[in-house]
């Protein structure tokens, strides 16, 4: 049996006002820092971060970032900052600022602190960062040699962001329990290149149960810009538990389907979290799960405003050839082996049609007993007979 790896950020800080403590966190890592801030939130976070660094005695230079995360942008920003010889990168904002910060930190060979101002995905905890071309077509997913050295999540900032960002994060996080199960049952590898340990799946399952209990209330809290216990729990599930779950549990068909959905009419413009929320229903259908299990998840997704059919993603009146095209492109993703059994494009297309039929059937989610059973899913464990 081969060696397996568990990876995570050394420190995770979450709560209202957490951004005000960045100076002390940075001081433990370096005496100088470059602060890369998403231009859209520069006026909100740049000042508090710079002041916290000054108070801690860390010399920092703030650089706004806007535009696409291309290799050219990463190299240009790295070259501009190299002369300052910063000992640390602090990346604050949405996914683009965090990912470009990771690329710069990797090239400078310095630690990085990620400071998300939205909770639309689990990128803040991950070693991975996506690189695109000028037309926002993904060209690569690169990885740093280690996870971010600290993650600072100020929930007061998250509460001020539009609710659709958190909704997307919920969609992204919901998938991780099902994908970790698929990866462990199949022959897939985690982003660390090894078979998964059980711990990643346990964390992913805990994240899913947390979202079932708190996500709807958290969205209601964000609508009134309130920090509540439900919001704290949901943000932890979306950023920390989801991130640890996917890096250590592995991804599966739900994320593989983005290969096809990003090329599909209408659906290509849907947020990543919405695409994978729909796709996890397809994963359950392909795995042969009972209608009641799919309907239960479908009911929860509807409750929090996430898509359950192609039309919800923007692909209205999908033609058979469009469904087949999404299925064929899905087969090009590296996560396809992370399933309990071999999968074909025909299986995926059939799963998509099954989900469409269930969504259009008018059937409600199962009764409360079945729903309670889904919320209390059994502990994550290897498939009978163990795994390879």
Residue, of 154 and 377, whose pLDDT is higher: 154
Task: Retrieve residue 171's tokens.
Answer: 């969609």
- Residue 1 forms part of a structural domain: no
Question: Is the pLDDT score of 4 beyond 90?
Answer: yes
Domain-located, residue 383: no
Shared domain check, 184 and 282: yes
Mean pLDDT (whole number) for 85-114: 95
Contact of 236 with 15, CB cutoff 8 Å: no
The 3-state secondary structure of the chain reads CCCCCCCCCCCEEECCCHHHHHHHHHHCCCCEEEEEEEHHHHHHHHHHHHHHHHHCCCEEEEEEECCCCCHHHHHHHHHHHHCCCCCCEEEEECHHHHHHHHHHHHHHCCCEEEEECCCCCCHHHCCEEEEECCCCCEEEEEECCCCCCEEEECHHHHHHCCHHHHHHHHHHHHHHHHHHHHHHHCCCCCCCCCCCCHHHHHHHHHHHHHHHHHHHHHHHHHHCCCCCHHHHHHHHHHHHHHHHHHHHHCCCHHHHCHHHHCCCCCHHHCCHHHHHHHHHHHHHHHCCCCHHHHHHHHHHHHHCCCCCCHHHHCCCCCCHHHHHHHHHHHCCCCCCCCCCCCCCHHHHHHHHHHHHHHHHCCCCCCCHHHHHHHHCCCCCCCCCCCCC
Question: In Å, how far are 121, 151, 170 from 229, measured between CA atoms?
Answer: 19, 20, 16
**Tens digit of each residue's pLDDT (9 = 90 or more) over 328-351:** 999 999 999 899 999 999 999 999
Domain extent at residue 172: 162-375
143 and 25 within one domain: yes
Residue 383: the pLDDT is 40
Residue 2 has what pLDDT?
A: 85
**Is 7 inside any structural domain?**
no
Q: By mean pLDDT, which of 127-141, 211-225, 239-253, 319-333 is the weakest?
A: 127-141
Considering the domain architecture, whether residues 229 and 115 belong to the same structural domain is answered as no
Give a yes or no: residue 110 inside a domain: yes
Are 179 and 377 spatial neighbours (Cβ–Cβ below 8 Å)? no
296 and 358 inside one domain: yes
Which residue among 126, 159, 192 closes a domain? 159
Do 344 and 227 lie in a common domain?
Answer: yes
Parallel, antiparallel, or unpaired for β 112-116 and 150-153? parallel
CB-CB contact of 88 with 26 (8 Å): yes
Within a domain: residue 4?
Answer: no
- Residues 342 and 195 occupy one common structural domain: yes
- Say how many domains are in the chain: 2
Is pLDDT above 50 for 384? Answer: no
Is residue 128 scored above 60 in pLDDT?
yes
**Residue at 121 is within a domain:** yes
Please tell me whether residues 137 and 228 are part of one structural domain. Answer: no
Q: Please say which residue of 159, 189, 223 terminates a domain.
A: 159
Q: Does 153 lie in the same domain as 138?
A: yes
Q: For position 26, which CATH number holds?
A: 3.40.50.1970
Domain end, chosen from 125, 159, 193, is at 159
| Confidence class for position 90, pLDDT limits 50, 70, 90 | very high
**Do the Cβ atoms of 158 and 231 come closer than 8 Å?**
yes
Least confident stretch, 27-31, 39-43, 132-136, 199-203: 132-136
Q: What is the mean pLDDT of residues 167-190?
A: 95
**Residues 134 and 191 grouped into a single domain:** no
Strand partners, 132: 138
pLDDT surpassing 90 at residue 225: yes
Whether residue 71 is found in the same domain as residue 167: no
Largest CA distance in the chain: 63
Judge whether 386 lies within some domain. Answer: no
- Looking at the fold, whether 102 and 20 belong to one and the same domain comes out as yes
On whether residue 98 sits in a domain, the answer given is: yes
Average pLDDT value for residue range 134-158: 92
**CATH number of the domain within which 350 lies:** 1.20.1090.10
Residues 228 and 221 sit within 8 Å (Cβ to Cβ)? yes
- The strand pair at 112-116 and 138-143 is best described as unpaired
pLDDT of res. 138: 79
305 shares a domain with 181: yes
């Amino acid at each position: 049996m081969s060696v397996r790896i568990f990876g995570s950020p050394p420190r995770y800080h979450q709560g209202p006002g957490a951004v005000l403590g960045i100076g002390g966190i940075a001081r433990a890592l370096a005496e100088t820092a470059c602060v890369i801030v998403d231009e859209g939130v520069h006026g909100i976070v740049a000042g508090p971060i710079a002041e916290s660094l000054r108070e801690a005695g860390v010399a920092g230079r703030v650089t706004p970032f806007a535009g696409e995360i291309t290799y050219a942008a990463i190299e240009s920003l790295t070259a501009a900052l190299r002369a300052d010889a910063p000992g640390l990168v602090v990346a604050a904002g949405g996914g683009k600022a965090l990912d470009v910060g990771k690329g710069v930190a990797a090239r400078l060979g310095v630690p990085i602190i990620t400071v998300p101002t939205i909770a639309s995905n689990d990128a803040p905890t991950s070693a991975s960062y996506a690189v695109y071309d000028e037309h926002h077509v993904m060209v690569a997913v690169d990885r740093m040699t280690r996870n971010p050295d600290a993650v600072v999540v100020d929930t007061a900032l998250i509460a001020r962001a539009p609710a659709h960002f958190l909704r997307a994060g919920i969609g992204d996080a919901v998938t991780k329990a099902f994908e970790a199960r698929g990866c462990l049952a199949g022959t897939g590898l985690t982003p660390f290149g090894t078979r998964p340990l059980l711990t990643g799946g346990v964390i992913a399952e805990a994240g899913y149960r947390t979202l079932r209990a708190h996500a709807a209330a958290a969205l209601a809290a964000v609508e009134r810009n309130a920090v509540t216990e439900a919001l704290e729990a949901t943000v932890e599930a979306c950023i920390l538990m989801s991130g640890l779950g996917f890096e250590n549990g592995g991804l599966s068909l739900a994320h593989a389907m983005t290969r096809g959905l990003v090329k599909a009419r209408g659906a290509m413009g849907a947020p990543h979290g919405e695409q994978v929320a729909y796709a996890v229903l397809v994963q359950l259908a392909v795995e042969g799960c009972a209608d009641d299990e799919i309907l239960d998840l479908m009911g929860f997704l509807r409750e929090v405003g996430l898509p359950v059919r192609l039309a919800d993603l923007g692909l209205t009146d999908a033609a058979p050839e469009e469904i087949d095209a999404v299925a064929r492109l899905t087969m090009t993703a590296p996560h396809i082996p992370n399933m309990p059994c071999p999968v074909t494009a025909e299986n995926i297309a059939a799963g998509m049609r099954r989900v469409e039929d269930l969504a259009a059937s008018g059937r409600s989610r199962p009764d409360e007993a079945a729903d309670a059973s889904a919320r209390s899913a059994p502990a994550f464990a290897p498939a009978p007979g163990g795994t390879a």
